[in-house]
Structure 1
Amino acid sequence: MNVNGEVVVKAPKEDVWRALNNPAALQKATPGCKSLIEIEPDCYKAEISVGIAAVRGDYESTIKILDKSEPDRYRLVMSANSPVGFVEGDATVELVHEEMKTYIKYNGVAQVGGKVAGVGQRMLSGIAKLIVKEFFKKIARETTTQFH
């Protein structure tokens, strides 16, 4: 399924970039994230608890930041596993600064498997878009509170 969208932040692009690369900000922004530990540069292990429909459960996750082009874009790759199934995502995150605002544009794909996949694509697509949008909205909040 495709996941894409845009969130506007009233902050300089460099501040948004710092938030997108700050482990504390990433942990706060990731819905249900109990812990986030950097295991190597730009690679994190996370424990995430999601409580939405059949996606509900505790997931052991790996989050990697790849193909960095500071402060314009990077690729975010995530995999999460639980007893109810798995979720894998791969997205490009791009920052565009215009008129005193930074636009976080994201475009990616997500795959699910296991019992989670039995929920149905329409419902899963809605849940995935909700979670991703919430992540970027929280990054926007972190940027405006942490760097100002």
Structure 2
Amino acid sequence: MKIAGNYTFSASRDEVWAALNDPEVLARTIPGCQRLEQVGENEYESTLKIGLQAVRGVYSGRVKIDNIRPPESYEIHVDGRGSNGFLKGSGSITLREENGQTILDYGGEAHVGGTIASVGQRLLDGAAKTLISQSLKALAAQIEARRTGHATPAPEPVATPAPEPVATPAPEP
């Protein structure tokens, strides 16, 4: 699965870079993040609870950041597992400034396996786009909150509602 896109922030490149490299900010911007703990230089362990139907579950993993060029770019490597499969991927983030705004370009490739791989490419692509969009919008809110000095709560992951259970009458004795 390949992902790519961009997002425009109404902030300087330095502000966006600082937020992207602050584990506390990231923990508040990653949907469903239950834990983000630094375990080494530029290396983190995390636990995410995802509520999207196709990828619903709890995932644990490791994130490593390298080839860091402040405040311009870095590469990210992810290795995660959940009860319904695994994900291994890598990608890059690049920041560029235009007209007083910062554009974050992202791209990468992920390999999934296990039960989660059977849900189909379209569903996985949709889930990935939703999670990325949520994260970037939450990051923009965190950057704005840093400017004004107000903390914002972590976003709740988008959930696909489960079907309502249908009551069936018990058979008469």
Q: Mark yes or no: TM-score above 0.5.
A: yes
Q: Tell me: higher relative CO, structure 1 or 2? Use CA pairs within 8 A at least 6 residues apart.
A: 1
Aligned equivalents of 1:64 and 1:29: distance in 2?
Answer: 18
Contact 1:64 1:76 in 2 (8 A): yes
The answer for unaligned runs of 5 or more in structure 2 is 149-173
Partner of 2:171: none
Q: Is 1:71 aligned to 2:83, yes or no? A: no
Output the aligned Cα RMSD. 1.1
Give the SS at the match of 1:133: helix
Partner of 2:16: 16
Give the SS at the match of 2:15: helix
Larger Rg: 2
Decide which structure has greater strand share.
1
Partner of 2:144: 144
Contact 1:4 1:129 in 2 (8 A): no
- The correspondence of residues 28-47 of structure 1 with structure 2, limited to 5 A, is 28-47=28-47
Contact 1:3 1:107 in 2 (8 A): yes
Poorly superposed stretches of 4+, deviation over 4 Å: none
Aligned equivalents of 1:65 and 1:73: distance in 2?
Answer: 10
Quick one: which amino acid aligns to residue 117 of structure 1? A
User: How far is 1:133 from its partner?
Assistant: 2.3
- The correspondence of residues 100-139 of structure 1 with structure 2, limited to 5 A, is 100-139=100-139
Per-residue deviation, residues 99-146 of structure 1 (Å, max 9, x unmatched): 110001101112111000010011111111211222222222211211
- TM-score w.r.t. length of structure 2: 0.82
The answer for unaligned runs of 5 or more in structure 1 is none
Aligned equivalents of 1:141 and 1:133: distance in 2?
Answer: 12
Decide which structure has greater helix share.
1
Per-residue deviation, residues 31-88 of structure 1 (Å, max 9, x unmatched): 1000110001211111100111131111111111111000000011112101110122
Report % sequence identity. Answer: 32
Contact 1:27 1:36 in 2 (8 A): yes
Give the SS at the match of 2:24: helix
Aligned equivalents of 2:81 and 2:110: distance in 1?
Answer: 13
Give the SS at the match of 1:19: helix
- Residue-pair matches, total: 148
Give the SS at the match of 1:31: coil
Aligned equivalents of 2:5 and 2:31: distance in 1?
Answer: 17
Aligned equivalents of 1:146 and 1:27: distance in 2?
Answer: 15
Quick one: which amino acid aligns to residue 9 of structure 2? V
Contact 1:9 1:102 in 2 (8 A): yes
